[in-house]
Structure 1
């Protein structure tokens, strides 16, 4: 359910594009982003920062696309969003005690500090590469190809990267302290 909620504007953009073209799809994505924020507030009484940033960029770049009648503005939106995420992850490596990826995931898995830093840098590189890939596709291929890449290519890249990250983190996962205590050496003086 959360997955569909997070990708609601992208899915509607994709559907509207194939029915009505880039300008209707852009308007649909703009409305869907506002609805997503309102629905998030009504359901959970909070809105994730990612949704605020994404909605702001969709409204800004979508508005420029519609006003100037130029689809390149909406095509730049995923690149700008990815590069902003890269900057946030990069900044977290230097600001605060923990990189962003550790703050987001340490409640799920425990790994050595150096591994958190490596994974954080991997996210920086991933977001930079995703932004570059998006803009290369936007300029080198047809609009229809870009729309498909936006949904399937960028989302596919993200899923593959997340799986690889999970496997990598799994190699270094530390066992919880209580499990380690249970498997420690037994006192030989105790008899049943």
Structure 2
């Protein structure tokens, strides 16, 4: 009996870097801009008075939802952290607007970072390479490399969650907005750059990485 040939998977759409950057960081920059413009003012909308933070949230939440949906439409996928962020921003941003209370949006990063630290820590305890399962296509590494990176990312996410709690609970609202808009992205970038040596030391040879990437398709034949 003649077997049907398995069609190769269609390549994922390529999104221009500047388009991805605008979609990922544009809503946050817009939030920062609106907050800085109205941080010392109160605006009345539909009979309710809102401060600059809540007004910026009112702009940020729908723009971020639309931006991530556009990114999903262009690429066909969203990273796990983007999905978690989308859900939590919708929930806690909505609570911020409904209750007119900035605290709900401020604790969102704490929950996101704690969630991923917990997931990675659970994977370590169960000896499961969950991080590699998500990122191995873009970053082929040895199992030991993934284990080390998972430990480091668990500690990093835990530290970020603690840092967010310290900033929003002990510092001014403006300081937290600066930290959320620029501080956290800079720290994440610095963390990734700091692990460049790990990526290089545990990178798979090109032929082995190509064979691993093709393995799922071969197993279906």
Deviation larger for 111-120 or 141-150: 111-120
1:130 to 149, 156, 160: 160
Counterpart of 1:190 in structure 2 is none
Native 8 Å contact 1:23 1:71 kept in 2: yes
TM-superposition CA deviations, 1:93-147 (whole Å, max 9, x none): 35575231x2244334444322210111111111110011011000111000110
TM-superposition CA deviations, 1:55-75 (whole Å, max 9, x none): 221121112222222211111
Q: 1:47 to 1:114 in 2, by over 3 A?
A: closer
**1:63 aligned to 2:94?**
yes
Counterpart of 2:70 in structure 1 is 39
**1:173 aligned to 2:199?**
no
Secondary structure at 2:118 match in 1: helix
2:146 to 100, 103, 116: 116
Tell me the TM-score normalized by structure 2: 0.71
1:53 to 51, 66, 84: 84
Counterpart of 2:31 in structure 1 is 13
Unaligned runs of 5+ in 2: 1-17, 39-51, 209-221
Tell me the TM-score normalized by structure 1: 0.81
TM-superposition CA deviations, 1:141-161 (whole Å, max 9, x none): 100011001112111110000
Unaligned runs of 5+ in 1: 179-192
Deviation larger for 113-122 or 154-163: 113-122
Deviation larger for 135-144 or 46-55: 46-55
Native 8 Å contact 1:64 1:70 kept in 2: yes
The whole-number CA distance in structure 2 between the counterparts of 1:139 and 1:91 is: 28
Greater helix content: 1
Q: 1:61 to 1:96 in 2, by over 3 A?
A: same
Counterpart of 2:217 in structure 1 is none
The whole-number CA distance in structure 1 between the counterparts of 2:180 and 2:105 is: 11
1:160 to 157, 169, 190: 190
Q: 1:153 to 1:51 in 2, by over 3 A?
A: same
Deviation larger for 106-115 or 8-17: 106-115
Native 8 Å contact 1:82 1:127 kept in 2: yes
The whole-number CA distance in structure 1 between the counterparts of 2:115 and 2:26 is: 21
